[in-house]
Amino acid sequence: MSRKYFGTDGVRGYVGNSVIQPEFVMKLGFAAGRILIRQETNHRPAVIIGKDTRVSGYLLEAALTAGFTAAGVDVRLTGPIPTPAIAYLTRALRLDAGVMISASHNPFHDNGIKFFAEGGVKLSDEIEAAIEQRIDEPFKTVAATEYGRAKRIDGATDRYIEFCKSTFPNEMSLFGLKIVVDCANGAAYHAAPAVFHELGAEVIAIANTPNGFNINEKCGATYTRTLQAAVLQNDSDYGIALDGDGDRLMMVDKNGRLYDGDSLIYVIAKARHLSGSLKGGVVGTVMTNMAMENCLQEQGIAFERAKVGDRYVLEKLHDKNWQVGGEASGHILCLDKHNTGDGIISALQVLASLNILNKDLSTVMNDWQPYPQKMINVRIEKGQDWQTVSADALKEAEDALSGGKGRVVLRASGTEPVVRVMVEAQQMAWAEKYAQNIAQAIQA
């Protein structure tokens, strides 16, 4: 479905130079509010609005609140809080929708609006389409007697902390572990250290002093060198890195070795398979490393691929009635614990899995080593028929890498005029050779 404003996860852009500016955001809140009013005829709808630590959050929070209240919708404001906390609170407080103001792992000058429907689930395509259509209609507030009210709610972060702790097995604790927690100067700077500390770990919190501008700046899940250095410096057992809105996870072991989403999903799946609690199989994406897929299948664990994006992983999990999946980027889903990706809860599931396996991260990950990957971004002109010109080079690569030796992924970017050429193979020389061949064919 073609969208004018919504991407795969809400609306996002550079603040002030895109749709992310006060007038549009107010119209967005008003449009979403009117759609809620249309759906809820037996009571006044109410939404909860959270934000990360970007300085623009104040501006956009006020604009959204104006839009919703002008539409006749009540608003609950939490202040800085992780995205998965908004999904949880939408469900726990029996609200009609949740909204998160965040651009996730992007720099501070970007921001975005993410929506959750009743129950804390992602909006359907139909609801997004209805909101987009309503945005472009004339803006007119409801009668003054029907205006919504806004208020700040106390204890939202505390409720979320208790929810996260409840997903960790009661018979386990984190006593004896020293953990460095990198909060990315983002939305989880209060909640994340508290969760691991209250479960018994000695916690060293870093990147936990947000100032509105330093979110994701040389820290967090997209820049792990700071965490790796802190783990070694503090002689810690593990490092946990979240991103700016708290839904991604990367981990580091005591030797400073980094583990991405693929590795962490494997640990969770292996432990659940061993304990008999893995429901079905695992969902990854077209970018999930082939070595992981092969290792899972050797152990009798089914594996399916979805398009890139946690939205599509979630859809595939629901279709298969499975529970575990995610992306190498660190979006990890454990649907028996939460209905959206959650960095804190994912880390707790990894730590619980290591307890079940009675091994540390490095030992478990001796099961497989990632195949080398070569990625080339090839710029294309609008309307360029890159599929046809690359067909021969693609077939040559696929024939050479058949039989489990590797694979090729070609996909057009949804945000840039580029084709992403990814070749994965047992040997780096093969990956580089065939990626270059395909890229040159497209460029020619």
With respect to residue 387, please indicate whether it lies within any of the assigned structural domains: yes
Residue 25 shares a structural domain with residue 128: yes
Q: What is the pLDDT of residue 415?
A: 62
Residue 306 shares a structural domain with residue 345: yes
With respect to residue 3, please indicate whether it lies within any of the assigned structural domains: no
Residue 342 shares a structural domain with residue 379: no
367, 384, 403 - which closes a domain: 367
With respect to residue 75, please indicate whether it lies within any of the assigned structural domains: yes
Contacts of 100 (CB under 8 A, 6+ apart): 10, 49, 50, 51, 52, 83, 86, 113, 114, 116, 245
Residue 36 shares a structural domain with residue 111: yes
With respect to residue 1, please indicate whether it lies within any of the assigned structural domains: no
Residue 310 shares a structural domain with residue 351: yes
Q: What is the pLDDT of residue 24?
A: 95
Q: What is the pLDDT of residue 320?
A: 97
Residue 277 shares a structural domain with residue 379: no
With respect to residue 86, please indicate whether it lies within any of the assigned structural domains: yes
The total number of structural domains in the chain stands at 4
155, 173, 197 - which closes a domain: 155
CA dist., res. 129 & res. 366, Å (int): 46
With respect to residue 2, please indicate whether it lies within any of the assigned structural domains: no
Residue 54 shares a structural domain with residue 137: yes
Q: What is the CA radius of gyration of the chain?
A: 22
With respect to residue 143, please indicate whether it lies within any of the assigned structural domains: yes
With respect to residue 405, please indicate whether it lies within any of the assigned structural domains: yes
**Half-sphere exposure for 96 (CA within 13 Å, toward CB):** 21
Residue 146 shares a structural domain with residue 193: no
pLDDT tens per residue, range 402-425: 988 899 999 887 667 889 999 999
Q: What is the pLDDT of residue 332?
A: 97
155, 184, 208 - which closes a domain: 155
Residue 251 shares a structural domain with residue 279: no
CA dist., res. 20 & res. 60, Å (int): 8
Residue numbers of the domain that contains 40: 11-155
- Which residues are tagged catalytic? 104
pLDDT tens per residue, range 69-98: 999 999 999 999 999 999 999 999 999 999
Residue 31 shares a structural domain with residue 142: yes
Residue 269: closest CA among 283, 258, 288: 283
Predicted confidence pLDDT, tens digits, the chain (444 residues): 467 888 777 899 999 987 999 999 999 999 999 998 776 667 889 999 999 999 999 999 999 999 999 999 999 999 999 999 999 999 999 999 999 999 999 999 999 999 999 999 888 888 888 899 899 888 899 999 999 999 999 999 999 999 999 999 999 999 999 999 999 999 999 999 999 999 999 999 999 999 999 999 999 999 999 999 999 999 999 999 999 999 999 999 999 999 999 999 999 999 999 999 999 999 999 989 999 999 999 999 999 999 988 889 999 999 999 999 999 999 999 999 999 999 999 999 999 999 999 999 999 999 999 999 999 999 988 878 898 888 999 999 999 999 888 999 998 876 678 899 999 999 999 999 999 999 999 987
Residue 252 shares a structural domain with residue 263: no
Q: What is the pLDDT of residue 40?
A: 63
Q: Give the CATH number for residue 53.
A: 3.40.120.10
Whole-number Cα distances in Å, 326 to 206, 295, 298, 358: 26, 16, 20, 24
Residue 63 shares a structural domain with residue 142: yes
Q: Give the CATH number for residue 417.
A: 3.30.310.50
Q: What is the pLDDT of residue 125?
A: 83
